[in-house]
């Protein structure tokens, strides 16, 4: 009986499972490994930022500090000083154009750029105040233009905003042909009274009208690849001339918000990264009653945070009497950088640059402050097509 049962089981095993007792487990299908997706291509903005980071990392401390100085072009040793101080730029005045032909100016500015190329490889900002009207550094020279550029008010009276924009385009073409890449204009101050010190240089309109004009002018300058400089933040109002002394502005912050800030905001928006802001030496008591705006961290915080501006901020000329008394040791450029400026405009750079380096060595000025400012300056140069 047992033999019959065993035989039956064996037969069932053979029928149900061929090779019973010696079968191999089924082989699983090979696993298909997924090819990882390639990383996304960096955006143009990311590539531009990477270029700036690499350039910044390649500079010495002295070269970084030099880039923060947009100085009055000296009467002597101008080419040599480009490399001695690694200067970020020259601001040119009437004497730099007086009696010169266009070829003279072009060659002189080319010499400055060649010196910069041989030094850091970073082109210079070459700027001028060519506002039209009472401030005409270039067109005062009849060899460079047959007549002086007209003031914003005369242009507006003759042909409205259209005339203002056409004049801007003509001006940008002339300056660019000479080798100038920054016009320290337009004047964004609001003034409707001929009694105001700043009136003749303004549009002479209310805040809304001034904002419309500033937006149009800055948009044209950006399209022409000309650096613009909105001045004089936070708005000059009816203050006195700070070339000769202190100007104290007692208006409320709400008054600034309702009027003076409007043209600056319009220009910042229209500039597309090609507009900078110049801060005046007026004391804005609503924000800081102790320091001129150009040296006040609180005023710069207002510009950065409330108005949301992340571009280049520069001082008015630190050689003016209005700021001379605020630095006991004469290191006014150190105060300007500590306040949040990215560019220092000064005649006295041969004294001020060593003082900035001394402050870094002493630890009273941080390297982070220098790097942040230098990154903004390099980015502005990049946006202007200089890098």
What string of DSSP letters covers 286-343? TT-SSS-GGG-HHHHHIIIIIS---S-EEESPTTSHHHHTT-TTS-HHHHHHHHT-SB
pLDDT reported for residue 330? 86
- Residue 22's pLDDT is what? 44
How many domains does the chain fold into? Answer: 1
H/E element, 155: helix 152-178
> Does residue 23 belong to any structural domain of this protein?
no
For residue 45, give the 3-state DSSP assignment.
helix
The per-residue pLDDT for range 78-92, each reduced to its tens digit, is 999 999 999 999 999
CATH number at residue 306: 3.20.20.300
CA 289 – CA 302 distance, rounded (Å): 14
- Rounded-to-10 torsion of CA 80, 84, 89, 92: -40
φ, ψ for residue 380, nearest 5 deg: -60, -45
Please check whether residue 154 lies inside any domain of the structure: yes
- CA 79 to CA 113: how far, in whole Å? 9
77 found inside a domain: yes
Query: What is the predicted pLDDT for the residue at 359?
Result: 97
Question: What string of pLDDT tens digits covers the 387 residues of the chain?
Answer: 334 334 443 443 334 444 444 444 455 556 666 777 788 888 988 999 999 999 999 999 999 999 999 999 999 999 999 999 999 999 999 999 999 999 999 999 999 999 999 999 999 999 999 999 999 999 999 999 999 999 999 999 999 999 999 999 999 999 999 999 999 999 999 999 999 989 999 999 999 999 999 999 999 999 999 999 999 999 988 776 666 667 899 999 999 999 999 999 999 999 999 999 999 999 999 999 999 999 999 999 999 999 999 999 999 999 877 787 888 788 999 999 999 999 999 999 999 999 999 999 999 999 999 999 999 999 999 999 999
Among candidate residues 223, 140, 229, 149, the one with its CA nearest the CA of residue 182: 229
pLDDT attached to residue 28: 58
Let me know: does 144 contact 138? Beta carbons within 8 Å.
yes
45: in domain: no
pLDDT of residue 280: 94
CA distance 84 to 82: 6
Backbone angles phi, psi at 106, to 5 degrees: -60, -45
- Check if the beta carbon of residue 229 is closer than 8 Å to that of residue 278: yes
Residue 20 lies in a domain: no
55 part of a folded domain: no
Asked if the structure places residue 31 within a domain, the reply is no
Whole-prediction pTM: 0.88
Residues 6+ apart with CB under 8 A from 300: 279, 313, 339, 340, 341
Judge whether 247 lies within some domain.
yes
For residue 357, what are the domain limits? 68-383
For position 241, what pLDDT does the model report?
A: 66
pLDDT recorded at residue 192:
95
Query: What's the pLDDT at 336?
Result: 97
Query: H or E stretch including 66?
Result: helix 61-67
Location of structure tokens 């600056």: 264
């Amino acid at each position: 009986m047992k033999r019959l049962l065993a035989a039956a089981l064996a037969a069932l095993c053979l029928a149900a499972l061929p090779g019973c007792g010696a079968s191999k487990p089924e082989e699983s299908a090979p696993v298909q490994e997924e090819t990882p997706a390639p990383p996304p291509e960096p955006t143009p903005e990311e590539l531009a930022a990477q270029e700036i980071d690499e350039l910044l990392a390649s500079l010495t401390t002295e070269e970084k500090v030099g880039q923060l100085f947009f100085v009055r072009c000296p009467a002597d040793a101008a080419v040599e000083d480009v490399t001695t101080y690694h200067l970020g730029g020259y601001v040119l005045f009437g004497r730099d154009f007086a009696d010169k032909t266009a070829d003279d100016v072009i060659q002189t500015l080319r010499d400055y750029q060649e010196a910069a190329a041989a030094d850091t490889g970073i082109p210079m900002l070459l700027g001028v105040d060519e506002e039209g009207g009472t401030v005409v550094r270039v067109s005062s020279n009849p060899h460079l233009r047959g007549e002086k550029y007209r003031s914003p008010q005369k242009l507006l009276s003759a042909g409205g905003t259209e005339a203002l924009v056409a004049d801007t385009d003509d001006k940008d073409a002339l300056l660019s042909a000479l080798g100038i890449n920054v016009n320290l204009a337009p004047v964004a101050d609001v003034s409707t009274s001929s009694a105001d010190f700043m009136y003749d240089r303004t549009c002479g309109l209310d805040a809304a009208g001034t904002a419309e004009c500033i937006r149009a002018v800055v948009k044209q300058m950006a399209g022409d690849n000309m650096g613009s400089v909105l001045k004089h933040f936070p708005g000059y109002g009816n203050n006195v001339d700070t070339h000769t002394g202190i100007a104290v502005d007692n208006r409320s912050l709400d008054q600034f918000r309702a009027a003076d800030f409007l043209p600056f905001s319009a220009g910042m928006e229209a500039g597309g990264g090609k507009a900078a802001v110049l801060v005046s030496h007026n004391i804005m008591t609503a924000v800081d009653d102790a320091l001129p705006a150009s040296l006040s961290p609180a005023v710069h915080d207002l510009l950065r945070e409330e108005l949301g501006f992340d571009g280049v901020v520069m001082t008015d000329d630190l050689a003016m009497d209005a700021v001379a008394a605020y630095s006991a040791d004469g290191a006014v450029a150190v105060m300007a950088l500590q306040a949040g400026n990215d560019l220092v405009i000064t005649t006295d750079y041969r004294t001020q640059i060593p003082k900035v380096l001394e402050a870094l060595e002493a630890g009273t000025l941080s390297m982070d402050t220098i790097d942040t400012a230098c990154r903004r300056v390099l980015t502005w140069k990049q946006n202007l097509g200089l890098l």
